[in-house]
Amino acid sequence: MPKITYHVGEEVVTVDAAPGSTVMLTAVQNDVGGIVAECGGNAMCATCHVYLEDGPVDELPAISVAEEEMLECTVSPRTPASRLSCQLPVTDAVDGLVVRVADEQS
């Protein structure tokens, strides 16, 4: 099962992620802090903002038009590493992914 590591402030949490889930859902289901996910994963709230830090980031899908629009609305600064974690599917190929949860989501 792929593992995903989340940095939340000073805390580092690595969890097993189920293929077919998303980086957002995996965080919520494992009580990883800092992700609000107000819209439930529909790319309509920008409260699941993470920064890609390490691992197989090239295995993730490109930013869609909808994600791009919402990334303009993040509370924490957007950087080239910014993604909406609800738009990041879990596959075996993302084993070892490391993300940092944005400090502020709303």
> What residues line the site for ligand FES (CB under 6 A)?
24, 37-39, 41-48, 70, 84, 86
Q: Which is nearer to ligand FES, 54 or 69 (CB)?
A: 69
Helices (H), the chain: 23-29, 65-71
Q: How many CB atoms are located within 10 Å of the residue 86 CB?
A: 28
Ranked by CB distance to ligand FES, the top (closest) residue is 86
Q: Which is nearer to ligand FES, 44 or 93 (CB)?
A: 44
CB 60 within 8 A of CB 54: no
**Residues 37, 43, 45, CA angle at the centre, nearest 5°?**
50
Q: Which is nearer to ligand FES, 10 or 31 (CB)?
A: 31
As measured in angstroms, the least distance from the Cβ of 35 to ligand FES is: 8
Q: Which of 19, 10, 23 is nearest to 98 (CA)?
A: 23
As measured in angstroms, the least distance from the Cβ of 10 to ligand FES is: 24
